[in-house]
Chain A
Amino acid sequence: MLLLLATVPTFGQTRVVRGQVFSKKDNQPISGASIILKGTAIGTATDFEGRYILQVTQESFTLVYSYFGYQPEEVYFGDDNLVDVYLVPLEEGEELLVVQPVEAKEEEDIEEEPITLQKDAARFKSPGDLIENIPFQSFDRAMQGRVAGLAVKAASGIPGGLVNARVRGVGSIFAGNEPLYIVDGVLINNISFSQFTQTNPLAFLNPNEIESIEVLKDAASTAIYGNQGANGVILVTTKKGKQGRARVELNAYAGETMPIKYLDLLDGPGWYAMRRDAFKNSEASIPEARALSNMGVLPDNWNQLSPAELDAIGLNLPTYDWQRQMMGNSMLHNYEMNVSGGTKSTTYYLSGSYHFSGSSFDPVDFERGTIRASIKQNIGKRISLEANANLASIAQNVPFSLDGSFLGNPAYASSLILRHNPIFNEDGSFNEQIGGLAGQNIAQVNAFNSGENNSRFGVGNVGLNYNIAKNLNYRGTAGVDYRDMEEFRFRDPRTPDGAEVNGRNAVASHLVERYMTHHTVDWTKRFDNSVLSIYAGYEFLMEERESKFSEVTGISTPTLNNLLSGATLVSMDSIWTGYRRQGAYLGVNYQLAEKYLFHVGSRVDGSSRFGRNFTYGIFPFVKLGWNISNEEGLKDSEFLSLLRLRASWGMSGNDQIGDFRAIGLFGPGNTYSGGQGLRPISFDNPNLRWETNETINLGLDFGFAEGKVTGSVDVYDRRTKDLLLNLPILWINRGENFLRNIGELRNRGIELEISTTNLQRGDFSWHSSLVFSYVKNEVTSLYNNLQVMPDNPRLAIGQPIGNPAFPGQQAPGAWYLAEYAGVNPATGRPMWWDANRNYTYLPGNGDRVYLGSNFPPYSGGFNNTFFIKGFELTTFFTYEFGALVSDGQYNFLRENGTRFTFNALRDVNDRSWTAPGDMTDIPRNFALSGGEAARSQIRNFGSASLLKGDFIRLAQVKLAYSFSTELLRNIGLQQARIYAQGINLWTLTDYPGYDPEFMGTGTGQIPIHKSYNIGIQLSF
């Protein structure tokens, strides 16, 4: 990257002009407005914030600003390099290019110059089209590598599954680490709750409906969200209608998903030979017969056969491809249409979409239909009403299990089944005689079992904007986030797991409701040389969740809610939980001479989750900014287009501690003599409260080389104070554990975002952007001066806390293991380092050392876009470095059949120690424990099976062609674009398992897939 930057040519004679384009109607920035150098094809378009930068090789010139629905504007550039432009909307029905005088009454409204406040926070804002048509089911996953300081990982390859998003490291051990997602002002509950698959609640929104995504990272920016802001805030704005004639857009794509990798496994004879040699190494008698017996193919007359004859049987075994039987390609398609437009008083946006994606493991899939409506109505000059409604219905076929070493789980067993076992009998029926420990025919299991999750979403709000007086505005909204989910999972009686109970059906339903209201008042006034803005707000939210679970056995065909048709009700349970929160805030923003920025404020925020002594907390913030480039002397610099220094301090809270954790509760106890029993299940915890995040942020925004290089650097110190720790209560005090706000941890990091225009000549241009994050995460304080948590030594001062895979899990801590020292070349036995750095076969607890964590300190992305004529080529790479992961699936394979009769990886087997002098990391094959082998630790012990999760991935490659507008006008089209796109096509990694991108144990999880799609976008 640095090399690329160094080769960027500089043009001494060029001018760089920049500014912002606004609508005169509402003073909102216009994104996508076109700016053309008059009389040429040279031009650019505004970004989401309406900003533009254009480089012109002329002394003086005229730029033409135009946008659909607005009158074009021409501006002559003499000396000025910074020009903001206000486009005047066209009247309804007015044709483009017809010039009309501006109405006098509109003049009144703009008698004062529009007021824009400058960037003062560590926030990232991305236009929605950056992730347009990336075939992910929820937008959070598409953010991977796009934002410095936001680490995103898919938890598994389940389409529409969980996404692990962490803003600026991991800030909590026992409370949640989920960012706050706000879609058009609606605070979304983004917890899955599904029992049988992963559902991502953010999938209710078709990612293509997003106008922009903004990520607030520092506590000074999130303080205004009070006790929900600690883990960052992600603000999503959806597309809205614009004034003008109706515009219709059609968007469709289709493609295929494909496994990223098939593992290279031992074949039938290969496994036999490996096992035979293992028995030989263990000095077992008749190793050939033992190996065949393990595989379930020892002939009855084996004791009449010679070792050579037995060997011949083993070495001539057939091989079947269970992986390709169970894994494969699947469909991917997406169709959507929207209509938008509006008059002076009404704007609207209506859309519908359908999306389907399979996975690498049939039938696990995702199918979604959405409908969205957004309407805004002006009533007179002072009042406007708006309504946004999102309806979505999602159906997902569920996997056998989300993870785990279940022999019926295809994602687990497909690589572990011994491959000499046929999948089908000769008559085409399923082979039910499977030798080896993975003894279920998963093809049969997969064909007979079923399960579905059906989710229905209603998310939306209504809002009122009221211009109370000059400079004084009120805005009030009421929103709802509603989710209704029903699901079942059926174990067919013809499968081993269903047979023992003659069929088992588990059913669950979940209802999640959130209601919220938000009211703000703001007053903004421009003085001679400064702008003052004061705002205040109030917010209230209530949430309720009810879940019901039941399970029946003795059932031969499944349907949802068919409990009564089951022979036996095995279990039935239900949960109700809920909470409320409210907060009020006040802020003052002052901007002096476009150079100095001051912004202070605070929120008072309370939640029913907190103890009665700490219901409300105060979350203040201060932000300062200095626009160095607006200082005299620099203002006219041609090289330096922007230089802005930012400093901020703020506090925000983390309320993700669960409901009712602060009050002493009675729950079900022992029944006795026909009577109900109740017992206390928790203590009153009146001091339980939010974890406080305190962040100091220093940032620098820059633009130089005539605007060809822009970007920002942020350095932060994020401290979590009042960190919740699980403290032991003595059993003599009726106790187990309780949460107390007592510890401290810290995330420090550097974030870098650079965008460059590397080349721009005629019709060709090349743009790059680099995102880089580094974060160092460590525990800084525990309780009672402890260096290590007594019940979990992985949590220790100075060590990272790791990344919890799923909401509700506690952070795992650092890896604290005996360090693997490889294989003793003399004996082939695995060795570890002991505490004195000597080799040992039998490391003990005292030999454990800290070895980092599963959270990558380095991550980011690198995007390159090339334009030539109508073509556009995008290549987007993501990367992660420094994480150490444990992959349960790989660990089973790494055992190389020594513990269980499971299949093994060819590479691992080939690396096995075979003769004295071999230098390798894989021990000799050994079949029988006992003797000296029993005095060694097992081969996966300690750090032996830890894997580096490093990777660089070509996350997106896309070639698009936009047809020229002249051509299209003749056939009645406004825009037409076709493209071909590949996702995750290439990964540079040493990772020996399916893929380094997963969260959780890795055992039996569906790995993420790659895909390609081709698509077309039309607008009328």
Chain B
Amino acid sequence: MDKINLFKSTVLFLIFVSAVFLNSCSLDVEPRFNSNLEDVLNSPAGIESALNSIYGNLRSLEHYGRDMFAKSDALADGVRAIGNSGRLVAENNNQVNAHFSPAFWQKSYAAIGELNLILDQLEAGVEGATDAHLRQWEGEARFLRALYYFDLVKVYAYIPTAIYQPGVVDQGGIPMPLLAVRIADVAFLNEFPRASIQQVYIQITNDLIRSANILRNSGRRGVQYASDGAALALLSRVALYAGNWQLAADSANAALLSGVGQLLSGQEYVDGWATPVHPESFFEVRVQTPEESLGVNLSLQGTYNTLLDLENKNIRGGWGDLIPSLKVTGFFGLTPQQTGNPASDNNNWDVTRNEDIRSKLFTTGNDQKFARRQIESIKFMGKNGFAYGDNIPVIRASEMVLNRAEALFQLGRDAEALESLNQFKVSRGLDRVELFRQEILDEILEERFKEFAFEGQRFFDLKRYGLAIDKRSYLGPNAIVPFEDFRILAPIPTREVENNRNLNQNRGY
């Protein structure tokens, strides 16, 4: 054997093998159509996109897309479900388990988890982002986290101002994860118990105060995004729910001074409902494209209206599943009225109205395909230029005036409360009133009932004062849900209770 040859060939061979090995020893493969978690959040565009998705999530059916308005109202006494499509009838009858759905819980917590990731990343810094960027994003993220937590806690827990038998059957607030979780095994092990109601409200309040503070100096992006005004307005509502009256009044004032939402009066107010962006809005959920609309079956327009076009009521639109209850038609003197001939033409029908300017937000509907030409709310009529596309006003200026009035009343400042209430009533075409003590509060709550009909506030207004849901006048003698009834709270999704040893289900479920 030729030793030199062997040596030479062995060396050559080893070089060849090493070359192959070195060339191929990396096992790194990057996904191309999806992106790595860290990569996305460490870039300004990635943060913006991640925030977009969380804003967009508010548009989902289970949130402001429909349920936060329509299902809340169906549970309360302002609407009647007529079953054109069969939707929301069970909720209107307050059947057991006909309540906010598991998907509301799931999607809200998913958004909160994403916000926790974003806030964590903002703290660590984002490559290529300025301080102003970081503050803007943080303010928006905190506002969103507060909004999601507030909507969850008001649905699944009692409201601090009216807790049924606190400490006895009170199951507490809601689980409150605040830290970013990236690792599956960690997420699997996190079995959060329900934080107390107070803890949750403190957390929400802190997020909102921080949000309002850091957004004050940053440029506004429009009412579809969080702003200092939006944060203050939401803070006012949260404080009102928490019974923190001074904060509720102060933040309502501050919100009104922020210049974001403006209280309108008279016909201006009615016209506000016909513009894509409601001028009273502090924060709206934007529905920008037909793809983003929930469509004929599930959108607010489809749920509230059989009409597609106010100019021609003979074009059948959605299902018009929820119509004003007798209480609401009574507020505004609404009765169907034939205005021309023939009676079969839907355009020859309208409603009678009283002096309340808000009565103009109702008319008669369409009678085709099982519909029966009911009185309908026309707050959501596809204002964005396509059917079933309406921006959804989450907080409006009128609420600030009413919040202020209520908070001042609760602080014992009746005169100021009455002044605030009267300022509001005049803006809605009503006369000033002279009232004393409890009458003032009753009148404020009734004005809230009228003002936010079809906007989902009534259920929570009853809940925070411990009042029964009374639908006996139109659903029969048993249609009353006393505050003691377990159906006031929504059931926590079974999956969550079964897989979380520390989570108690709400009473009765």
**Interface positions of A (Cβ within 8 A of B):** 466, 468-470, 474, 476, 517, 519, 538, 540, 542, 574-582, 606-608, 615, 659-660, 663-667, 669-681, 683-688, 727-735, 738, 740, 790
Contacts of B31 in A (CB 8 A): 576-577, 659-660, 663, 665
How many whole Å from B118's CB to the nearest CB in chain A?
10
A680 & B33 in contact (Cβ 8 Å cutoff): no
User: How many of B's residues come within 8 Å of A, CB to CB?
Assistant: 71
Q: Complex Cα distance A457/B292, Å?
A: 43
The residue in chain B whose Cβ has the minimal distance to the Cβ of A738 is B184
The CA of A734 and the CA of B53, in the complex, are separated in Å by: 14
Q: Which of B25, B29, B33, B112 contacts A575, CB < 8 Å?
A: B33
Instruction: Decide yes or no whether B129 CB sits under 8 A from chain A.
Output: no
Inter-chain contact A678/B496, CB cutoff 8 Å:
no
Please give, as numbers and ranges, the residues of chain B lying within 8 Å of A730 by CB-CB distance: 187, 190-192, 496, 499-500
B474 at interface, CB cutoff 8 A: no
Stretch at the interface among B5-13, B235-243, B445-453: B5-13
In the complex, A790→B54 CA distance in Å?
Answer: 31
Q: Using known A-B contacts A580-B29, A608-B27, A790-B498, determine if residue A731 contacts B105 with beta carbons closer than 8 Å.
A: yes
- A680/B117 in contact, CB under 8 A: yes
Min CB–CB distance B225 → chain A (angstroms) = 8
B27 touches A678 (CB 8 A): no
- In whole angstroms, what is the CA distance A728 to B187 when docked? 10
Asked if A670 and B40 sit within 8 Å, CB to CB, the answer is no
In chain B, what residue has the closest Cβ to A578? Answer: B29
Which residues of B, 215-248, contact A by the 8 Å Cβ criterion? 222, 224-225
Instruction: Check if A683 sits within 8 Å of B10, measured CB to CB.
Output: no
Q: Within 8 Å of chain A (Cβ to Cβ): is B177? A: yes
* B187 surroundings in chain A (CB, below 8 A): 683, 729-730, 733-735, 738
Cβ of A468: which chain B residues have Cβ within 8 Å of it?
Answer: 6, 9-10, 13
B110 at the interface (CB under 8 A from A): yes
A670 in contact with B52 given A469-B1, A730-B496, A731-B109 (CB within 8 Å): yes
Chain B residue nearest to A579 in the complex (CB): B29
| Contact indicator A728/B499 (Cβ below 8 Å) | yes
Task: Tell me which residues from 25 to 81 in chain B have a Cβ below 8 Å from any Cβ of chain A.
Answer: 25-29, 31-38, 40, 46, 48-50, 52-57, 59-60
**Cross-chain contact A686 with B286 (CB below 8 angstroms):** no
B499 contacts across to A, CB distance below 8 A: 728, 730, 790
| Contact between A663 and B13, CB atoms less than 8 A apart | no
Q: Which residue of B lies closest to A665 (CB)?
A: B34
Which residues on B sit within 8 Å (CB–CB) of A666?
Answer: 34-37, 40, 46, 50
Q: Are B33 and A574 touching (Cβ within 8 A)?
A: yes
30 A-B pairs (CB sep. < 8 Å): A468-B10, A540-B20, A574-B33, A576-B32, A606-B27, A608-B27, A659-B31, A660-B29, A663-B36, A665-B34, A665-B35, A666-B34, A666-B35, A666-B50, A670-B59, A671-B291, A673-B52, A673-B55, A673-B286, A677-B56, A678-B40, A679-B110, A680-B37, A680-B113, A728-B499, A735-B187, A738-B184, A740-B184, A740-B185, A790-B498
B496 & A729 in contact (Cβ 8 Å cutoff): no
B106 interface hit (Cβ, 8 Å): yes
Q: How far is the CA of A538 from the CA of B25 in the complex (A)?
A: 10
Closest CB in chain B relative to A1015 CB, distance in Å: 45
Q: Pick from A577, A688, A731 the residue with the most CB of B within 10 Å.
A: A731
Interface residues of B in 95-140 (CB under 8 A from A): 102, 105-106, 109-110, 112-114, 117
**Shortest beta-carbon distance, A703 to chain B, in Å?**
42
- Bound complex: CA of A579 vs CA of B30, how far in Å? 9
Q: How far is the CA of A466 from the CA of B10 in the complex (A)?
A: 10
Neighbour of A733 across the interface among B177, B225, B286, CB < 8 A: B177
CA distance A581 to B31 in the complex (A): 16
Q: Which residue of B lies closest to A577 (CB)?
A: B31
Given A466-B13, A683-B184, A729-B187, residue A582 in contact with residue B24 (CB < 8 A): yes
B36 adjacent to A615 (CB under 8 Å): no
Chain B residue numbers with a CB within 8 Å of A678 are 35, 40, 46, 49-50, 52-53
Residues on A with C-beta less than 8 A from B496 are: 730-732
* B370: interface (CB < 8 Å): no
Shortest Cβ distance from A20 into chain B, in angstroms?
30
Q: SS class of chain B's interface: helix, strand, loop or mixed?
A: helix
The reply to whether B181 and A665 contact each other, CB–CB distance below 8 Å, is no
Give the shortest distance, in Å, between A470 (CB) and chain B (any CB): 7
Closest B residue to A662 using CB positions: B184
Question: Residue of A at shortest CB range from B16?
Answer: A476
B27 and A607 form a contact (CB under 8 A): yes
Residue contact B114 to A734, C-beta cutoff 8 Å: yes
Query: How near does chain A come to B111, taking the closest CB pair, in angstroms?
Result: 9
Contact, CB under 8 Å: A675 / B188: no
User: B206 at interface (Cβ–Cβ under 8 A)?
Assistant: no
Q: Are B224 and A673 in contact (CB under 8 A)?
A: yes
Query: What separation, in Å, do the CA atoms of A683 and B109 have in the docked complex?
Result: 15
- B75 → A minimal CB distance (Å): 22
Residues of chain A within 8 A of B185, CB atoms compared? 685, 687, 740
Q: Is the CB of B36 within 8 A of A665?
A: yes
Min CB–CB distance A687 → chain B (angstroms):
6
* Cα(A679)–Cα(B37), bound, Å: 9
Shortest beta-carbon distance from A577 to chain B in Å: 7
User: From A688, which residue of chain B is reached at the shortest CB distance?
Assistant: B184
Cβ of B24: which chain A residues have Cβ within 8 Å of it?
A: 517, 540, 542, 580, 582
Nearest chain B CB to A838 CB, angstrom units: 29
Q: In the complex, what's the smallest C-beta–C-beta distance from B208 to chain A, in angstroms?
A: 21
Q: Is there contact, CB below 8 Å, between A676 and B49?
A: yes
How far is the CB of B227 from the nearest CB of chain A, in Å?
Answer: 14
Q: Determine whether the beta carbon of A732 is less than 8 Å from that of B175.
A: yes
- Return the chain A residue nearest B391 by Cβ: A673
Are A580 and B27 touching (Cβ within 8 A)?
Answer: yes
Closest 7 pairs (CB-CB, A-B): A670-B56, A734-B113, A669-B53, A677-B53, A664-B37, A683-B184, A672-B52
* Chain A residues with CB under 8 A of B35: 665-666, 678
- Chain B residue contacts of A474, Cβ below 8 A: 13
Chain A nearest CB, measured from B339 CB (Å)? 39
CB distance from B364 to the nearest CB of A (A): 34
> How many angstroms between the C-alpha atoms of A684 and B1 in the bound complex?
57
CA of A191 to CA of B68, assembled, Å: 46
With A576-B32, A578-B29, A660-B31 as contacts: A731 and B110 at CB distance below 8 Å: yes
- Tell me, in angstroms, the Cα distance from A684 to B20 when the chains sit together: 31
**Which of chain B's residues have a CB closer than 8 A to the CB of A607?**
27
Residue from B36, B60, B105, B291 whose CB has the most chain A CB atoms within 10 Å: B36
Query: Chain B 133-154 against A: per-residue CB contact (8 Å), 1 yes, 0 no?
Result: 0000000000000000000000
CB-nearest residue of chain A relative to B225?
Answer: A673
> Are A732 and B177 in contact, CB atoms less than 8 angstroms apart?
yes
Q: How far is the CB of B218 from chain A (nearest CB, A)?
A: 17
A541 to B: closest C-beta gap in Å: 9
A684 touches B50 (CB 8 A): no
Q: Does B183 contact A (CB under 8 A)?
A: yes
Partner of A608, one of B29, B38, B54, B59: B29
Cβ–Cβ < 8 Å partners of B181 in chain A: 683, 733-734
When chains A and B are docked, how far (Å) is the Cα of A706 from the Cα of B455? 93
| Chain B residue nearest in CB terms to A546 | B32
Give the residues in chain A near B112, CB-CB below 8 Å.
Answer: 734
A469 in contact with B6 given A577-B31, A733-B113 (CB within 8 Å): yes
A665 touching B52 in the complex, CB below 8 Å, given contacts A517-B20, A582-B24, A683-B184: no
- Chain B neighbourhood of A688, CB < 8 A: 184
Do A686 and B183 touch (CB < 8 A)? yes
CA–CA, A666 and B28, complex, Å: 18
Once A673-B286, A677-B52 are accepted as A-B contacts, the answer to whether A734 and B184 lie under 8 Å apart by CB is no
Contacts of A672 in B (CB 8 A): 52-53, 55-56, 59, 224, 286, 288
Q: Inside 8 A of B13's CB, which chain A residues have their CB?
A: 466, 468, 474
Complex CA gap A469/B224 in Å reads 77
Contact B59 A659 (CB under 8 A): no
- Expressed in whole angstroms, the Cα–Cα distance for A674 and B221 within the complex equals 13
Interface string of B487-503 (1 = CB under 8 A from A): 00000010110111000
Question: What distance in Å separates the Cβ of B405 from its nearest Cβ neighbour in chain A?
Answer: 33
